[in-house]
Each structure stands twice: as structure tokens, then as C-alpha cells.
């Protein structure tokens, strides 16, 4: 079989409400997630064994990488015993809250499914993805979704809301530093229960955002439980976001557990070049800045 290649899209959490901690140590959440038309690229070709190569030397290519964990989970779920050589082109930075590793893993499952000829549906692949990582399954949808539980419960949006979200232009920007997801969840747990948004208000916020997505400005309805602890420790984040709001009228927010942030760019909004200058003035030339769209 010829080599196959797919994009592994980054994602944004337009709403991310952590509602509490579960007895198993995971956290429950309610989130509206949208993939981006930008991300990593993963290539697969048949081989004698499973292996991974990556153009970023900082990325581990052993069994700790989610791509190979996904391959192991696929083998266990399907009984397929073949081999594959993966080649990962990395663009999504680590510690960004953009779902890079999870997207790579979900894409690996899709590629393996094609290579193995098993023809598993996305619904059949979803539990395999969820076993690899809490937010892996959402990337099988190909568009914006709502996730609940620890991230494994994926619910499609109505066609109206899905169409309204797709194609929205966003600027994604990340400082040179990342934020470790375990640290972020640990801070929420340490500050519980005040740090959690109970399920009922979380669902109400989701309903408000879904309504706004039908035609109203979404900025006032964006929400992220992780912003409070992240902004206290990493002051460079709220300082820049406040500056972008005052100077350009944008409504920037943080994605996931950070440190990447984003802002919707309206048609009559400021030039991207002007916003990028402000970002780099605040965070330095090492900041990642990407002009992209929601898928």
C-alpha cells in the first residue's frame, strides 16, 4: 500500500468549564472544542515493525509518544499484528493547550485503520482513542464538538451551529513557555471547590455560547476555568490579552490549560501584522503566531 499522509489539526477550547474532580482522579468538564486548519502532519507507510520519526528532536519517538501508544491500542483492539513507519512533522508546540499530542494519536488511528484495511467507523475508533488519552476522541469528528466527562464523551453540534463556527478566522499565539497540564489540574484541585464551575452553570454557559454561535458575537461568552490559576502565575498572559482588548477591541482567551491564547479576527478587525507586532513586543520574537481558521 502507498504511503498515506494526513493533517493533525490543533484545537481551541471556546468554552472549557471544569466542573469537579472524580473519584478516579480525573476531572469532569464541559467544553466546546473546534479544530483548526493548522497543525502537525503525520505520514504512515507499511513496515516490518512499529516506529516513529519526527523532525523535532525534542519530541520523544519511543513508546511514550502518543502516536505509538495509539498504535499499540489499535493492535490490542483489532488484533492487527502488522507494522507501520510513522513520520511526524511537528508544528503544534508542546505545553500549549492546543491538543497536539492527542491530535497526532487520533490521526495515527485513522491512518492505521486505512493501512490495516479494517474499515472501523469513527464510532468504533472512538473508545480506542479515549483509552489513549482523554481528549483524543474529539479529533475523530472532523469539526467542532461538545465534550463532557473527562473528554471522552463527544457530542456533535447542530448543523446550524457547526456551519456558523466553521471558517471563523482566528489568530493563535503562544509564548516561549508552556504550561504543564498536570500542574494546571493540580492548581484547580488545590483551590477546590471555588475553582470549579458546577455542572448546571457550566451547561448554562454552554447554551449561551451555542446561542451566540447562531449569529451573535461569541467573545463575551468564551470561558476557561484554567485562566484564573494560569494568569496568577504567568502574568505575561493577562497583560498581553488586556493590551489586545484595549488596543484592538479583540476578546482574546486562553485555550485548554495554556499557554496558547487566541482571538477571533472579524472581517473589519485590525490587520494581523499589527496584532502580531504587539504580541512579539510583549512576548518576544520566539512567540508562535498563526493566522488560521476553525474547521
Tell me which residues are annotated as active site. 11, 135
Dihedral angle sign, alpha carbons of residues 90, 266, 252, 15: negative
| CB-count burial class (<10 Å; 0-12, 13-18, 19+) for 147 | buried
Give the Cα separation of 280 and 295 in Å (integer). 26
Three-state SS at 91: coil
Which residue matches cell numbers 468538564? 29
Beta bridge partners of 262: 172, 253
φ, ψ at 5 (rounded to 5°): -145, 135
Give the Cα separation of 53 and 219 in Å (integer). 39
Q: What DSSP letter does each residue of 95-122 carry, written as one string? A: TSSS-HHHHHHHHHHHHHHHHHT----H
φ, ψ at 144 (rounded to 5°): -65, 145
Three-state SS at 146: strand
Amino acid at each position: 500500500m502507498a504511503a498515506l499522509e494526513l493533517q493533525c489539526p490543533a484545537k481551541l477550547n471556546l468554552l472549557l468549564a471544569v466542573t469537579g474532580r472524580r473519584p478516579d482522579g480525573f476531572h469532569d468538564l464541559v467544553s466546546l472544542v473546534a479544530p483548526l486548519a493548522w497543525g502537525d502532519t503525520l505520514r504512515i507507510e507499511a513496515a516490518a515493525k512499529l516506529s516513529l520519526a519526527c523532525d523535532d528532536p525534542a519530541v520523544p519517538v519511543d513508546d511514550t509518544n502518543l502516536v505509538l501508544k495509539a498504535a499499540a491500542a489499535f493492535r490490542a483492539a483489532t488484533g492487527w499484528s502488522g507494522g507501520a513507519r510513522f513520520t511526524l512533522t511537528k508544528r503544534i508546540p508542546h505545553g500549549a493547550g492546543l491538543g497536539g499530542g492527542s491530535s497526532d494519536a487520533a490521526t495515527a488511528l485513522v491512518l492505521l485503520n486505512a493501512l490495516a484495511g479494517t474499515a472501523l467507523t469513527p464510532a468504533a475508533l472512538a473508545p480506542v482513542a479515549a483509552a489513549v488519552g482523554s481528549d483524543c476522541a474529539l479529533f475523530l469528528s472532523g469539526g467542532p464538538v461538545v465534550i463532557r466527562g473527562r473528554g471522552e464523551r463527544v457530542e456533535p453540534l447542530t448543523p446550524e451551529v457547526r456551519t456558523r463556527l466553521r471558517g471563523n478566522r482566528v489568530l493563535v499565539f503562544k509564548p516561549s513557555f508552556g504550561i504543564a497540564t498536570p500542574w494546571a489540574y493540580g492548581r484547580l484541585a488545590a483551590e477546590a471547590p471555588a475553582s470549579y464551575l458546577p455542572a448546571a452553570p457550566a451547561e448554562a454557559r454552554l447554551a449561551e455560547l451555542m446561542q451566540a454561535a447562531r449569529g451573535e458575537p461569541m467573545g463575551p461568552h468564551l470561558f476557561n476555568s484554567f485562566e484564573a490559576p494560569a494568569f496568577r502565575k504567568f502574568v505575561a498572559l493577562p497583560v498581553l490579552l488586556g493590551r489586545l482588548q484595549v488596543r484592538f477591541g479583540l476578546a482574546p482567551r486562553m485555550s485548554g490549560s495554556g499557554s496558547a491564547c487566541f482571538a477571533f479576527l472579524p472581517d473589519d478587525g485590525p490587520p494581523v501584522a499589527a496584532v502580531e507586532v504587539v504580541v512579539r513586543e510583549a512576548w518576544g520574537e520566539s512567540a508562535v503566531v498563526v493566522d488560521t481558521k476553525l474547521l
